[in-house]
Amino acid sequence: MLKVFICGGSGYTGGELLRILSNHTGVKVIGATSEKSAGKSPAELFPNLKKYSNLIYEPLKPGKILNKAELFFMSLPHGKSQEAVDFFFKHGKKVIDLSADYRLRDVKIYEEWYKVPHNYQSTLKKAVYGLPELYRKKIARASLTANPGCYPTGAILGLYPAIKNKFIDYSSIIIDSKSGVSGAGRNPDIRFAYCEINEGFKAYAITTHRHTPEIEQELSLSAGIDIKVNFTPHLAPFDRGILTTIYAPLTRQMGTTEIIDLYKDIYTKEPFVIVHDEGKLPDVKSVRGTNLCEIATVVNKRTNTLVVVTAIDNLVKGASGQAVHNMNIMMGFDEKTALDTLAIFP
């Protein structure tokens, strides 16, 4: 049994890691950290984690837990993850970082968008961006995987086949995303109180969301040229899920089925990507609780524009499920282990 430790285990992504790993036949969660819930168990914090009554959160002391586990999931806020990641990595441990700290290759861009310095640049160079559909081979050899952000997961998977097949104009890509409220984390904040969110819908952080450079980095690397995107996140009244609607001009006349075929080719062997046939469109409700990314593509013939829609569960494919997927790849488990579940409907 692989021994794993979860650093930052009391938020929604930490709880989701515990939920998913409880189904994993090859893994044992040895411990979990939480500063404010130290001394308590996940069974006290999460109504669904009664199984974890024997696990007690402890404050994060990297030196103390280093030898207890072989792999560390890091579910800490950005800025606070850097140092511990570096410590575990340098001591030869496998690390999967769910924070943003090791996602951006260019330290300047990280510091510009996140407003904190990055003090571990040599380690940063060793990090692999943990989007299995793009970097499976590198992830398999990696010791440090930077788990993608929730919005970038849906945006990149939606655009990657179009970029690989070079049929869109990169100069005016629009990424319009709608997220459930769990994306804001489990913190008391009046802005995410029930009565403020329910029956509402709004955009936020227009032009300033920190996932923008992450999306741009990966699209640019795929395209081989520098891409800037218009990314607008929205807050929607449901618990889980991100629906992303993407627009990009086509560089030549193409039909919807032609593009669907190209998308299917790219993702044909992917266990967690579903490319819909013409006429079927993704819904966040269909992927809730799963590691799936559903994708539909439609051509607007009147404007020669590609429209792509993707749906993921922000806490699974957009966070903890993808982290477990990365672990499965890094440690040689079957990729679907603990992730082969059906959504609950309704």
Catalytically annotated residues: 150
325's tokens: 């997927």
Q: Are 7 and 61 a contacting pair, CB within 8 Å?
A: no
Residue 150 identity: C
For a copy of itself, the closer of residues 67 and 230 by Cβ is 230
Chosen residue from 28, 38, 39, 50 binding a copy of itself by CB under 8 A:
50
DSSP code of residue 276: P
Q: 85 or 339: whose CB is closer to a copy of itself? A: 339
Least distance (Å) between residue 203 CB and a copy of itself: 5
Query: Is residue 210 near a copy of itself by the rule CB under 8 A?
Result: no
What is the b/e burial string over 121-145, where b = at least 16 CB atoms within 10 angstroms of the residue's CB? eebbeebbbbbbbbbbeebeebbbb
- Strand 27-33 to 2-7 pairing: parallel
User: Please, which residue, 123 or 179, has the CB nearer to a copy of itself?
Assistant: 179
The interface mask with a copy of itself, positions 171-200, x = CB under 8 A, is -x-x-x-x-xxx---xxxxx-xxxxxxxxx
Nearer to a copy of itself, 266 or 308 (CB): 308
**Which residue lies nearer to a copy of itself by CB, 197 or 254?**
197
- Binding residue for a copy of itself, selected from 41, 165, 220, 305, defined by CB under 8 A: 305
Site string for a copy of itself, 124-163 (x = CB under 8 A): ----------------------------------------
Rounded (10°) angle between helices 211-223 and 150-164:
20
Residues paired with 178 in a beta bridge: 234, 243
Size of the site for a copy of itself (CB under 8 A): 80
- What distance in Å separates the CA atoms of residue 239 and residue 310, rounded to the nearest whole number? 17
Tell me which stretch binds a copy of itself (CB under 8 A): 29-37, 111-119, 232-240, 265-273: 232-240
Phi (first) and psi of residue 28, to 5 degrees:
-125, 125
**CA distance readout (Å), 67 to 29, 63, 142, 230, 316:** 14, 8, 20, 44, 28
Q: How far is the CB of 249 from a copy of itself (least distance, A)?
A: 6
- Tell which positions 62-81 bind a copy of itself, by CB under 8 A: none
Q: Residue 86 CB, nearest distance to a copy of itself (Å)?
A: 31
Query: Under a CB-based contact definition with an 8 Å cutoff, are residues 81 and 74 in contact?
Result: yes
Task: For 257-296, give one letter per residue: b (16+ CB within 10 A) or e.
Answer: eebbebbbebbeebbbbbbbeeeeebebbbbbbbbbbbbb
* Options 28, 38, 39, 51; binder of a copy of itself; rule CB under 8 A: 51
Q: In angstroms, rounded to a whole number, what is the distance separating the alpha carbons of residues 242 and 315?
A: 10
19 binds a copy of itself (CB under 8 A): yes
CB closer to a copy of itself, 257 vs 300: 300
Considering only residues 78, 93, 211, 288, which one is a binding residue for a copy of itself as defined by CB under 8 A? 288
Residue 251 near a copy of itself by CB under 8 A: no
